[in-house]
Structure 1
Amino acid sequence: MPNHLGASLHSSPATLDLKFTVRLRPLKSMPHLCGSVGASKLLVCGYKRDPPRLSKMNIALLKDSGMRLCFWRQSFILVLFLTGFASADLFAAKPELSYLHPAGAQRGTTVSVEAAGKNATWPPQVLTDRAGITVEPEKDKGKLKITVDSDAVPGVYWVRLHNDEGASPLRPFVVGTLSEMNEKEPNNDYRKPQLLETTTVIVNGRINGRSDVDTFAVKLAAGQTLVASMAANEVLGSPMDAILEVTSPNGFRLAFNHDTYNLDPQVVFTAEEAGTYLVRTFAFPSKPNQSISFSASASYVYRLTLTTAAFVDHAFPLAASQNHPTEIELRGWNIPQPVRFYTVPLSSNHEDVAPLFHPELGNTTLIKTVPHAVTVESAVNDAGHPQPIQLPMTISGSISEERDEDWYQFTAKKGQKVEFRAESWALGFPLDPLIRLTDANGKRLAQVDDINRSQRDAVLSHTIPADGDYRLMIRDLNRDGGFRYVYRLSGTLPQADFNLKLAADAFTLTPGTALEIPVTVGRLHGYGGEISITAVDLPEGVTATTVVSKKKGDTAKSVKLQLTSATGPVSGPIRIVGTVAGETPLSRTAEATITGFTATTAAPWLTVLKPAEAK
């Protein structure tokens, strides 16, 4: 006869596995009783001696879940009474999603994906941020089937799991154009690498195990250029700082890179001789610790692009106009002439970025679109020959060699506010821009380097002291230069404006209790108007207050929006919008930083729980 009481309930989809175990000495004269009554489960066991020692927390847990405890002096009976799956409500929890693996797929394919996280209930519902992929939970817990449309736009798609209790964080899934494969272990030993049948493929892998070194063998012809580019920390949020190296078959290092796109490495290697070469990757933790050693984890997932075909480093210019088609050049490696030049069409909805992709390209790149004129630096634009520009304008340029400086000249009037924003480092390039504003005689008026300690790009704002010509210089802080030292320099005459920010991208509302959502108000360039802020696209039954942010006082920089509901459960994405009426109406949507990333979302998730009396 068993010496414990064990119960396991398996409910249908919306449910969980309930396991309860108590170890006691069985009463010799009493048989082990276990049965069921009606629609409820009744489990009974008899025991001699004293009842088990249960902590206050455990007793409270049993009481809250509808379980009934009955004790006797010499012997006792423990009765577990479960009614209407009350315990399922107790143990139900919102879904978790730490990462997806594999973290991407080729257009027109279907893959089975691990959805990492503790999920007591399965299956959840799934949200994607846009059309192009279909995500379905599989029968096995923690598995998703993701189908990618053949015409899906390549790039990052955001996936969120949700149920009646809440929602997981958004996590990225990348759609690509190349064929893909999964890493196969063991491949640690350089003498026994994973052999790749093609030189153009995306490998989905992970560094899992402290001594894990993933090794891949590729065959190259003499003069052939291989691009090995990893997406891990920057794109997928993997907590790893990866290293890539290309070696000879006997392990002699021929090329190496640590950080190209922030913490993600990229190696460009040209084979001097035909033969088999090894590509190896391993990692440190993204957050340094005292160990100063290699690191690994199941969450160290990556996508490694290996290609001898076309691979784009950047599109030049680095910006396209929203007002007319823009001719751009794709710069990188192995790019054939027919696809080197590309026309960015007009965007009907004036989106801020446009994806650039082609079946012959090994990767997808994004180009920023702007509502004003764009241009590129001229062949000669040194201090003695500044390039004329007219604000507002976005200029794309390159610090092509060491000690290079690019100079621009513009005309402005007294009292005008001008703002110049130099972007490079945030775009994944090595340039650390320094910009300087002078008058026509060379007198320095302002100079800036980094935005802050964590952002190496530069923003210069200045009020013009007198009518006349002015000059702006840009260079690398360390006087470096090269092919990838490109920049996007935006010169504008800033107008008063505002933005709205949220501290979280998911919220939970209890029926009958008001939910307060703090909204931070950013007043740009002295904006002083009153801003009406409310929530729209709300789930059925949810109402929101409208609050006003005034120029001065407690509401100038932040407000608290209240949402209420009498019923539930219901959930969905919402928007929080600020509007200003008048001759020049403005409307801005609040954005929240996605947990663990620098990317933002304008569609935070709202969960309305089931009313307490309905649980």
Structure 2
Amino acid sequence: MMKISLYLRLSALICGSFASTATAAPPAITHLYPAGAQRGTTTEVTAAGTLDATTKVWVSGVGVSAEVAKGKFAVTVAKDATPGTYWLRAHNAEGASALRPFVVGVLPEVTEKEPNDDFKKPHVLNDLAVTINGRLEKSGDVDCFAVPLKKGQTLVASLQANRVLNSPMDGMLQILSADGFVVEENNDFHGLDPQLAFTAKKDGTYIARVYAFPAAPDASIRYFGSDACVYRLTLTTGAFADFALPVREPDAPPQADIWGWNLPKSGKRLLVPKLAPGEAFAALSDPEIANPVPLRVEPHPHFVDVDQRDRLAHKYEAPFSLTARLHAKGLAQRIPLSLKKGQALTLQVESRTLGLAVNPVIEVFDKDEKRVARAEPAKLNGDSVLSFNPPADGAYSIAVSDLYGGGGGARDVFALRVLEAKPDYDLTVAADRFTLTPGTPTTIPVKINRQNEFAKNVEISAEGLPEGVKLEAAKPAKAQAGVLTVSLTAEKPWSGSFRLIGTIKGEPKYQRTARFALTESDDTTADLWLTVTAPPKK
């Protein structure tokens, strides 16, 4: 019996080794650790999931590349790579994994050292500007980091976990004195991720402590942890950006003022980089600032009045945008404008999307102060959109307030966008990965989301496919179809990224790119994947 048992175990081991090196199924990745790296470095990254010896890695954007070495990813970040979130996808001859986020940072990076559960035995940090790659790997796990501070120094502590990395945790962040007393704490600053700024009242060593509850609440009463609870904790006494405000100056390139902590007293103003086609947000970064910050770039007039100096000095006409602040708790910010009957508008207020504090409510009042329209966030930590068609010519006002009566803080800032509701469209797909074999086509339904009675015929083409992979669009059953089905065929095996592009004949301004809504975050991607597998053996 012992010989038979040994034989079976050896057979299983040999078969398992063969399976790990043979291409049998598409790779799968649940999370990456560490989930980021500093510019100008090469980092060894563990990809949790299933990989084989033929696995390769595709990375979105420019300046980041990855190779598979000994079952791990070697991720190389160029010195001039733009800070922010990139997306990694593992693939082989059978298919591809879902996209996983990987963050490129500015500061030096270290990996958490265990054991560090006890604040009396923390991971000691000597650098006051660092990003820590950590993980709450089991139930009850707590991570503590010791930081020396001088009286008057402000330490910014910012945790990336659920919102950026899709970690299944609701993080808590505390600053403790050396003897264990909580002197500052935060929860849910950016969605479920905490952030705080603490100013030391005396010299000493302080402890940054991280722990978590499950992002999806359950009946447990202990601190939450799992192998997937990966995080990035930035600790710095240097400059840290909170948000950006656009600057409109005649005869000058687009610039933005940066607001945050530990910035120069004269402030910090950055140039706004040119956007790629179809992009609405610019990522502003600077070597002297610990983090990038997003800024929406508008194609129409944009006014800034966070100090309530010029609010009534402008004559607002759609389309326009206004960045403003709620100056007191429970107070609504009013914006007057004159409208005509039938002038269909779309009103959008962004704050939570930008990482700011307002949970926006939009109200429209007529000249008699009668409320004629209202909208509030459709979900927790969401922003608001309101479609409004004036019932009569006249004077109106748009009121923006906080759903929970907030206001009065430096971060109670919002951006109001008043847009003409013109006919338009966008494209979405229900999947981001597709597989076919030579001689057997695969079909992709592309949904045309028509807005404001958009009635033009949309044509679909592909960008990034090689010769030998052909796309054909089926003729829609009716004009102005809501769905167009495209068919892909191939002559030989291939694997790669591609995009689906919508166009209107003779009107280049209507070019749109199909996007897929990522299932584990609020992000979308235009980078689809096609795998053409080898034909089955006869």
TM-score (norm 2): 0.92
Same amino acid, percent of matched pairs: 40
SS at structure 1 position matched to 2:29? coil
Alignment of 1:47-196 (within 5 A): 92-119=24-51, 121-138=52-69, 140-141=70-71, 143-196=72-125
How far does residue 606 in structure 1 lie from its aligned partner after superposition?
Answer: 0.6
1:175-198 alpha-carbon deviations (Å, 9 max, x no partner): 111111000001011111111011
Q: How does 1:364-379 map to 2 (within 5 A)?
A: 364-377=292-305, 379=307
**CA distance change for structure 1 residues 379 and 125 in 2, over 3 Å: closer, same or farther?**
closer
Higher mean alpha-carbon deviation, 571-580 vs 261-270, is at 571-580
**Distance (Å, rounded) in 2 between the aligned partners of 1:298 and 1:378:** 43
Deviation at 1:607, TM superposition (A): 0.6
- The 3-state SS of whatever aligns with 1:2 is helix
Equivalent residue number for residue 335 of structure 1: 263
**Greater CA deviation, 307-316 or 507-516?**
507-516
Matched, 1:562 2:487: yes
Aligned-pair distance for 1:6?
5.2
Tell me: CA distance 1:91–1:337, structure 2 relative to 1, closer, same or farther (3 Å). same
User: 1:5 maps to what in 2?
Assistant: 7
CA deviations 1:107-163 (Å, max 9, x no partner) are 1111111111122x224111111221121111x22x111111111111111111111
Counterpart of 1:2, as a letter, is K
Cα distance, 1:501–1:346 mapped onto 2, change above 3 Å? closer
CA distance in structure 2 between the partners assigned to 1:114 and 1:339 by the alignment: 40
How many residue pairs get matched?
535
Contact 2:278–2:512, Cα closer than 8 Å, also in 1: no
Change (3 A) 1:535 1:328: closer
Q: Residue 82 of structure 1 aligns with which residue?
A: none
Query: CA 1:372–1:279 in structure 2 vs 1: closer, same or farther (change >3 Å)?
Result: same
Contact kept, 8 Å, 1:519 with 1:560, in 2: the verdict is yes
Q: CA deviation at 1:19?
A: 3.9
Bigger-Rg structure (1/2): 1
Q: How does 1:447-458 map to 2 (within 5 A)?
A: 447-450=374-377, 452-454=378-380, 456-458=382-384
Match of 1:46 in 2: none
Is 1:360 the counterpart of 2:285 in the alignment? no
- Give the structure 1 partner of residue 15 of structure 2: 18
Cα distance, 1:544 vs. partner?
Answer: 1.9
Deviations 1:433-470 (A, max 9, x none): 111112233232211112x2356321111112333332
Does 1:462 pair with 2:393? no
Distance 2:11 2:467 in 1: 33
State the one-letter code of the partner of 1:287. Answer: A
Q: Does 1:325 align with 2:325?
A: no
My pick for the range that moved more, 387-396 or 299-308, is 387-396
Deviation string, structure 1 residues 191-246 (Cα, Å, up to 9, x no partner): 11111011111000100121210000111111111111000111111111111111
With a CA cutoff of 8 Å and minimum separation of 6, indicate the structure with the bigger relative contact order. 2
Does the aligned pair in 2 maintain the 1:321–1:374 contact within 8 Å? no
Match of residue 498, structure 2, among 574, 591, 612:
574
Asked whether the 8 Å contact 1:532–1:548 carries over to 2, the reply is: no
Aligned pairs (5 A) from 1:237-256: 237-256=166-185
Q: Which one-letter code corresponds to 1:469 in the other structure?
A: A
Q: 1:212 to 1:122 in 2, by over 3 A?
A: same
Q: Determine the C-alpha separation between the residues in 2 that align with 1:322 and 1:509.
A: 54
1:289-300 equivalence runs, <5 A: 289-300=218-229
Residue by residue over 1:417-443, the C-alpha shift from the partner in whole angstroms, topping out at 9 and shown as x without a partner, is 111100112222221111111223323
Choose the corresponding residue for 1:606, options 522, 530, 533: 530
Question: Taking structure 1 as reference, are residues 324 and 607 closer, same or farther at Cα in structure 2, changes over 3 Å only?
Answer: farther
What amino acid is aligned across from residue 368 of structure 2 in structure 1? N
Structure 1-normalised TM-score?
A: 0.81
Q: Secondary structure at the match of 1:472?
A: strand
Q: Is the 8 A contact 2:22 2:53 kept in 1?
A: no
Q: Deviations over 1:548-597 (max 9, x none)?
A: 55776xx73223322223432x1111211222224676221100123422
CA distance in structure 1 between the partners assigned to 2:477 and 2:316 by the alignment: 38
The corresponding residue for 1:528 is 455
Do the aligned residues in 1 keep the contact of 2:122 with 2:144 (CA within 8 Å)? yes
Q: Alpha-carbon deviations, 1:235-277, whole Å to 9, x = none?
A: 1111111111111122211111111000111121111111111
- Code of the residue aligned with 1:130 in structure 2: it is G
Partners of 2:249 and 2:216 lie apart in 1 by 39
**Which amino acid counterpart does residue 127 of structure 1 have in structure 2?**
W
Indicate how the Cα distance of structure 1 residues 17 and 176 shifts in structure 2: closer, same or farther if over 3 A, else same: farther
